[in-house]
Amino acid sequence: MLQIIIQGRGGQGAQTAGNLLTMAFFAEGRQVQSFASYGGARRGTPVSSFIRVDDRPIRVRCDIEQADAILCFDASLLESRLLATARPDTLIVVNSSRTPEQVAEKLPGYRVIPVDGISISRRHGLGRIVNSALLGAFARAIETPKLEALTRVLIEEAPKLRDENVAACEEGYRWVDAQLQRAAA
């Protein structure tokens, strides 16, 4: 079973990203469970989306205490509370303009992939809305769901700027792919 935590701040789109990711897994025929925590339920306060994915029915009904992967919309949220859910093998994708080396220096012992989601989104006319860029990056980092399933969900569910969201998703995917290729070389 794959257990995912998406962490962001109210208004950043972390909840929407969790819903879209859940839909993409479901579209691939996977079993999914998704729930959220809104904290103070106002703009700027931490919000979390939790997703479980498996090929068999999911019967677990508790919070995710140990994540296999974390998608963090705001690097300032990478602190003790969120990191307590990470094991040494947990993959963390974070929205950050820092280099992988800078992030590794700040968070030693964690597997972190920084993605400059804001730059990607701005290049595609989405401003500071980073959902699609980060979803593409995250999908590549954890190697699921397939990019085609994710872009299909974006086309079906994006209320506006569908082409721009798909392009940002694809660039986020390529961004992480290039980072992983460099790390492997």
The tens digit of pLDDT for each residue in 34-62 reads 998 876 556 778 889 999 999 999 999 99
pLDDT at 31 (0 to 100): 98
Distance CA 98, CA 45 (A): 23
pTM of the model as a whole: 0.95
Distance CA 185, CA 183 (A): 6
Query: pLDDT exceeding 70 applies to what percent of the chain?
Result: 98
H helices of the chain, where? 14-27, 80-83, 100-106, 117-123, 131-142, 147-157, 162-184
Check pLDDT > 80 for residue 151.
yes
pLDDT at 93 (0 to 100): 98
pLDDT average, residue stretch 80-92: 93
Angstrom CA distances, 128 to 70, 104, 183, stand at 20, 25, 28
Neighbours of 75 (CB within 10 A): 17
Check pLDDT > 80 for residue 160.
yes
Calculate the dihedral angle through the C-alpha atoms of 110, 14, 139, 175, rounding to the nearest 10 degrees: -80
Distance CA 17, CA 7 (A): 10
Tell me which H or E stretch contains 119.
Answer: helix 117-123
Tokens of 38: 């809104």
Which is nearest to 113 in space by CA: 173, 51, 47, 65? 173
pLDDT at 70 (0 to 100): 98
Domains of the chain listed by start with CATH number? 2-184 (3.40.920.10)
Backbone phi, then psi, for 58, in 5-degree steps? Answer: -100, 120
Q: What is the Cα 22 distance to its own chain's centre? A: 11
Tokens of 24: 């993409």
